Amino acid sequence: MGKKDDKKRLGRGLEAIFGDDISNLLEEIQEGGDGKRQIEVNVDEIRPNPFQPRKEFDEKSLKELSDSIKEHGIFTALIVRKSVTGYEIIAGERRWRAAKMANLSTVPCVVYEFDDSQMMEISILENIQREDLNPIEEANAYKNLMDRLGYTQEKLAKRVGKTREYCANMLRLLNLPKSVQDLVVNKELTMSHARPLLSLNNDDMIYDVALKIIDEKMSVRQVEKLMKDLDPNKALKKKKIKVIDPNLKYVEDLFRDKLQTKVSVDNKQIIIKYSDVDDLNRILDLLGVIE
């Protein structure tokens, strides 16, 4: 297939991708269905996709893929584009990482001439359609499409095959403080639990409430109710936050490290928590009061 035919084929493919299924197109390219010849490329000549929206790669999953590659090799070629030095990955970064882990020297590749805009769209759409992104990665991917390519929310929704409301809700997650976004990335907090927190306008309060949600294993309904209780009109009725004397806090920490349990020092008293009789005996032993 000549360059002119390649360009025509690629143009039709990209037009079909948006709002459709990009995975089928990529699989067709990777399996040689477009007439492109696979080549072997040195793994050290390949760089990750600069527009890759996925930042987290599960190490356990990569190790399993690496073991499979060691035994069976790579069946599906990577899609790459030529860069100034070497190649950049368009699709197949997990396979490339696993191949490096398996100490392969080369990997099969299909070379295509995508521009930056096409490369970004393909990378983002492929990950979204395969549901490989966590909510924060997905939200950042949407923001990149809007910032770099000038998409409106309407155009974004059409491109990714989602409703405008869905895209707007995802983008709003980026208004959460970074500390809470990290809780979502680490799967300690779901998107449904995090979204109601946006009604709060204080980053410290948002983080404190997020920790409370996790600690108390609250349901989404309970979180929504909590948000109503934290209404500014009701906030004045709530107890003031207790200010802890730093010297007493230091003593608390000493006790906690020594006894490995919750200890509070306040109002001229020391309160030591224990879970059962065995735990009580353990603490008494550490305090040296058991003969």
Of the candidates 105, 108, 95, 88, the residue with the CA atom closest to the CA atom of residue 42: 105
Of the candidates 98, 103, 99, the residue with the CA atom closest to the CA atom of residue 57: 98
Active site residue 113: no
Buried b (16+ CB within 10 A) or exposed e, 216-228: eebeeeebeebee
Catalytic residue among 88, 93, 126, 138, which? Answer: 93
DSSP annotation of 244: P
Q: How many CA atoms lie within 13 A of 273 on its CB side?
A: 9
Helix (H, G, I), strand (E, B) or coil at 106: strand
Do the Cβ atoms of 124 and 141 come closer than 8 Å?
yes
DSSP annotation of 138: H
Q: Catalogue the active-site residues.
A: 93
